[in-house]
Amino acid sequence: MKSTAMRGADALLEALKVAGIRTIFTLSGNHVMSVFDAAVDSEIELIHVRQEGAAVHMADAWARMSGKVGVVLVTGGPGHANAISALYTAKCGEMPVVLLSGHAPLRELGLGAFQEMSQAEMAAPVTKASWTAQSTATLPKDLARAFRIAQSGRPGPVHLSLPSDVLEAEFSGSRPEVAEFAAEPQALAPAAARAIVRELANAQRPLVIAPPLLATPPGRKLVDGLRQALGVPVVVMESPRGINDPGLGAIAEILAECDLIVLLGKALDFTLRFGKAPAMAAQCRWIVIDTDVELLARAARTQKQRLSLSAIADARSAANALMQAAADGGAGRHEQWAAEVQAAIDYRPWGSDAAAFPPKNGGMHSTAMCLALQPFLDRHADAIFVCDGGEVGQWAQAVLKAPQRVINGFAGAIGSAIPFAIGARKACPGSPVLTVLGDGTFGFHMAEFDTAVRNNLPFVAVVGNDAKWNAEYQIQVRDFGEPRALGCTLGQATRYDLVASALGGHGEFVVKGEDLPGALERAFASGKPACVNVLIQGTPAPIVRRKR
């Protein structure tokens, strides 16, 4: 039976449409069924997943690839709690995600309501803002505010709890304008931009470090423009391995030599060894641009007189202001230094000959496995490479060159790869999506093969199957010795490929390396969500250094 009055739930979807949203990643539940009902009469599509955390990861990857805000709708209490951990990945990845969680009705709070929980408090540490809607009349305004906060400054997730009585009551409030949803830029003052351009020009070995939000497709374009305009190297950091990110080759050697580092919205934290020697030159000076005044204060405290300038601005606005200032004159040329930096980033000790990495103990070497995937990425200029953590993930990030990359980022949380692949495919329906993940990681969200099948969102997941949680096994061997390695083994040659086919996807099991290229082709040609399950040796992740 269709309700005639406009409810809070209808007003919410109407507001989402004003914000340009046509897709919501969701898992149903009592508290949000009015929103499902409202969706029947809207043009908004619901992608119904199998676990709430997966919905957050999908929205996160969708946001990375679409440039819009990813929207998630889950139920209250345990549904909300399931979504929480995945918000941390979006927060560290600096992605605008709005989590809408159903909530016990306001009129029952404090009376022992079904699934009553302190939801806003739970989400607070992993979001930029987190609150509970208090009235139907202001619901669309709450949503606009959530969108604005998610996109402004350093973007990130925002949580809004939706009490069921607020959703179900009749709406008669005001409707926000499109502009109210948009980001509020924080510009870099022209004088500061000029001063930074001058300092860069005067430095011998300067480097600009950009944050994860600039690892998106438009972000990479901005970074390229900035590199050109400033005539200095600009590097995007997004890996929890920080200066040891194998995807950045021998960058650690460069960082140790810089005399000026400009942090363009990149936090000075563990990824940069807190800015300390010997990872950084003892005399290296810093310029810090950030929207977070606490980060500016922290840099001033830790770097003291080595902090030569700090400014409040968001990374995108600051990049544009720096390009403008450089165009007005004063940018230096650091061609030789830029070439040195690029050579370090491109450096890989292993070359491209897979024969140098023969199989052992019945499994491929991770390098050989990844080298066999590269030709596919080379043939597809629009391919998206998605990668998760673990040792095999580090190999894939080090070896594979892809037009677009989505990784789990500074959060260092494993498990996002499969939902990331689905979210990326939803945002880019024509692009082939290749994901590489470990056998341990595969277990977190393998049920999402079902979501991908139901929604016709094909991708290929290559599972490096070493029958281990190898990253942790390697720590045990290194720190405690092999005889004390405990509890980090997984089933031998487990058939993860059969999981994919059981759920309606396509499965390939690769025991011999020479069978991998054919299996990969068949997996993509199937047009289905596919798992290529490859037996590998379980090699420690690479740390790239050149012999000097």
User: What residues make contact with ligand TPP under the rule CB under 6 A?
Assistant: 389-392, 412-415, 438-441, 464, 466, 468-472
Tell me the closest approach of the beta carbon of residue 390 to ligand TPP, in angstroms.
2
Return contacts of 225-229, CB within 8 angstroms, 24+ apart: 225/319, 225/323, 226/264, 226/319, 226/322, 226/323, 227/338, 229/322, 229/323, 229/326, 229/327, 229/331
Q: Report the residue number whose CB is nearest to Mg ion.
A: 438
Closest CA to 236 of 221, 228, 186, 546: 221
SS3 string, 489-531, reads: ECCCCCCHHHHHHHCCCEEEEECCHHHHHHHHHHHHHCCCCEE
Residue among 391 and 450 whose Cβ is closer to ligand TPP: 391
The distance from CA 221 to its chain's CA centroid, rounded to whole angstroms, is: 18
* 539 contributes a contact to Mg ion by CB under 5 A: no
Residue 297 contacts by C-beta under 8 Å, 6 or more apart in sequence? none
Tell me the closest approach of the beta carbon of residue 83 to ligand TPP, in angstroms.
14
| Class of residue 344 by CB neighbours under 10 A (exposed 0-12, middle 13-18, buried 19+) | buried
Residue among 181 and 385 whose Cβ is closer to ligand TPP: 385
Token representation of residue 111: 């009376």
Residue among 151 and 408 whose Cβ is closer to ligand TPP: 408
In whole angstroms, give the CA distance from residue 273 to residue 258. Answer: 14
* 466 contributes a contact to Mg ion by CB under 5 A: yes
Residue among 451 and 470 whose Cβ is closer to ligand TPP: 470
Tell me the closest approach of the beta carbon of residue 359 to ligand TPP, in angstroms.
17
Tell me the closest approach of the beta carbon of residue 418 to ligand TPP, in angstroms.
12
Say which entry of ligand TPP, Mg ion, none residue 472 contacts (CB below 5 to 8 A, set by partner kind): ligand TPP
E-state strands within 145-236: 158-163, 206-210, 234-236
Considering only residues 137 through 176, tell me which ones interact with Mg ion, judged by CB under 5 A: none
Residue among 181 and 473 whose Cβ is closer to ligand TPP: 473
Side-chain-facing half-sphere of 368: CA atoms under 13 Å: 21
For Mg ion, which stretch binds (CB under 5 A), given 90-98, 112-120, 243-251, 434-442?
434-442
In whole angstroms, give the CA distance from residue 75 to residue 114. Answer: 12
Residue among 168 and 391 whose Cβ is closer to ligand TPP: 391
CA distances for 187 relative to 145, 184, 190, angstroms: 20, 9, 9
Tell me the closest approach of the beta carbon of residue 539 to ligand TPP, in angstroms.
9
In whole angstroms, give the CA distance from residue 38 to residue 10. Answer: 5
Residue among 155 and 440 whose Cβ is closer to Mg ion: 440
Residue among 432 and 438 whose Cβ is closer to Mg ion: 438
* 303 contributes a contact to Mg ion by CB under 5 A: no
Tell me the closest approach of the beta carbon of residue 414 to ligand TPP, in angstroms.
4
Residue among 431 and 470 whose Cβ is closer to ligand TPP: 470
| Residue carrying structure tokens 């929890």 | 240
* 450 contributes a contact to Mg ion by CB under 5 A: no
Query: What is the arrangement of strands in the sheet containing 404-407, beginning at the earlier edge strand?
Result: 404-407, 384-387, 433-438, 460-465, 530-535, 506-510
Residue among 34 and 537 whose Cβ is closer to Mg ion: 537
Tell me the closest approach of the beta carbon of residue 488 to ligand TPP, in angstroms.
8
Say which entry of ligand TPP, Mg ion, none residue 318 contacts (CB below 5 to 8 A, set by partner kind): none
In whole angstroms, give the CA distance from residue 82 to residue 87. Answer: 10
| Residue carrying structure tokens 């798992």 | 531
Tell me the closest approach of the beta carbon of residue 264 to ligand TPP, in angstroms.
27
Contact 497, 532 (CB under 8 A): yes
Backbone dihedral angles phi then psi of residue 243, each to the nearest 5 degrees: -70, -10
> How many residues contact Mg ion, by CB under 5 A?
6
Tell me the closest approach of the beta carbon of residue 474 to ligand TPP, in angstroms.
8
How big is the chain, counted in residues?
548
* 10 contributes a contact to Mg ion by CB under 5 A: no
From the list 470, 474, 533, 539, which residue makes contact with Mg ion (rule: CB under 5 A)? 470
In whole angstroms, give the CA distance from residue 529 to residue 496. Answer: 13
Q: Which residues face 530 on adjacent strands?
A: 460, 506
Residue among 150 and 418 whose Cβ is closer to ligand TPP: 418
How many other C-beta atoms lie within 10 A of the C-beta of residue 182? 14
Q: Which residues face 437 on adjacent strands?
A: 463
Tell me the closest approach of the beta carbon of residue 440 to Mg ion, in angstroms.
5
From the list 468, 503, 509, 532, which residue makes contact with Mg ion (rule: CB under 5 A)? 468
Say which entry of Mg ion, ligand TPP, none residue 412 contacts (CB below 5 to 8 A, set by partner kind): ligand TPP
Tell me the closest approach of the beta carbon of residue 491 to Mg ion, in angstroms.
11
Tell me the closest approach of the beta carbon of residue 388 to ligand TPP, in angstroms.
7
| Residue carrying structure tokens 């590489």 | 436
Give the contact letters, 379-418, x = binds to Mg ion (CB under 5 A), - = no: ----------------------------------------
Residue among 147 and 357 whose Cβ is closer to ligand TPP: 357
How many other C-beta atoms lie within 10 A of the C-beta of residue 124? 14
For Mg ion, which stretch binds (CB under 5 A), given 191-199, 221-229, 297-305, 459-467?
459-467
Which residues of this protein are in contact with Mg ion, per CB under 5 A?
Answer: 438-440, 466, 468, 470
